[in-house]
Structure 1
């Protein structure tokens, strides 16, 4: 166990895992936190413009989905994404209903690893469809590059995107370590990048 990580402030942990979402350049991200933080997540995220859903409450850690609702709707309700999700059994027509179904499937998978992996996760995380489909086709192997996800097409474009994500992550973590609230960092970022 990484003891330094365990003692980092909650704001730093969230910034480290979800800065691109906080900055508004990625629609969503997974957040893994120790159970001791379950009540503080809502308080810390207030004012950031993010929505959240606890996907899985484990014995030691919880897995959250943090997202920007409008960006997530734009991503998930796209034509190619909807066709893909329909193939995976999603007949729902609203983001909220789709997230309820995804949460249920994710929880079931976490409890029983014999169930199929919920590959639709990549769609909900805003990954390019080529990479989602490549991951399924090659069973997570034969990828061309691995960064924030496994890349199967457009490597240079993805590398540039990952560099942007990493730069944002460094800024958000540094500011959080200085004691700033996530909403302050988010507002400052939006002001500077506008």
Structure 2
């Protein structure tokens, strides 16, 4: 898979252990199997600021993924990374859109609006469990986790899987595969070679 970022955003921070860790986690988002990932920024305030500075420096002009910094009600910081091309594939599923409408999202679907509604909910004390849809988890698993539908808990892998696990395993395996690919790329490629992918 060829992903080109022709910006100079990626070179300066490549040797940062923190950015390398983030890149591995974001492998499925960067490579397109996963529409989004949310990360908590941990540590005391100066450490959080340093981490955010590294994220901004590395990803600010990257053309393949966007990010949103979210300040939570309790002083926490989260970063939502989004691959809009992959996200648009999620919302070709009308059942996902209908469920989000049921939860109060606007009746006229617009991806940017739906992402903004999710971000607003992430500021509040009530964590929006429907985020699983935005993270690319199968709808049946999101519904089961939220107490909707008739599927029983089958197992827990990266997330809780409800009902028939076959589609869940397929999705999970694609995420894990892309993460492994990104880890190998980080370990085995030069800065210029990685820049052509990220």
Pick 1 or 2: higher relative contact order, CA cutoff 8 A, min separation 6: 2
Is the contact made by 2:97 and 2:109 (CA closer than 8 Å) also made in structure 1?
no
For residue 73 of structure 1, what is the aligned residue in structure 2? 88
2:175 equivalent to 1:165: yes
What is the aligned residue count?
Answer: 174
Structural RMSD (CA):
3.1
- Offset, 1:58: 8.1
What is aligned with 1:83?
A: 98
**Equivalent in the alignment of 1:9:** 17
1:107 aligns with 2:123: yes
Aligned equivalent of 1:148: 158
Instruction: Give the equivalent residue in structure 2 for 1:4.
Output: none
Task: Say yes or no: does 1:40 pair with 2:50.
Answer: no
Residue 62 of structure 1 and its aligned partner are, at CA, apart by: 2.6
State the alpha-carbon separation in 1 of the partners of residues 91 and 70 from structure 2.
17
Find 1:22's aligned residue among 1, 17, 30.
30
Say if 1:13 and 1:60 are closer, same or farther in 2 by CA, change over 3 A.
farther
- After TM superposition, the score normalised by the length of structure 2 is 0.72
5+ residue gaps in structure 2?
Answer: 1-15, 43-47
Return closer, same or farther for 1:64/1:134 CA change in 2, 3 Å cut-off. Answer: same
- Structure-1 separation of matches of 2:191 and 2:41: 18
Does the alignment pair 1:55 with 2:70?
Answer: yes
When the two structures are superposed, what TM-score results if normalisation uses the length of structure 1? 0.74
Q: Secondary structure at the match of 2:67?
A: strand
Distance in 2, Cα, partners of 1:130 & 1:51: 27
- Shift of residue 172 of structure 1? 1.4
CA separation of 1:62 and 1:182: change in aligned 2, threshold 3 A: farther
- Selected match of 2:147 from 128, 137, 148: 137
Q: Distance in 1 between matches of 2:91 and 2:20?
A: 28
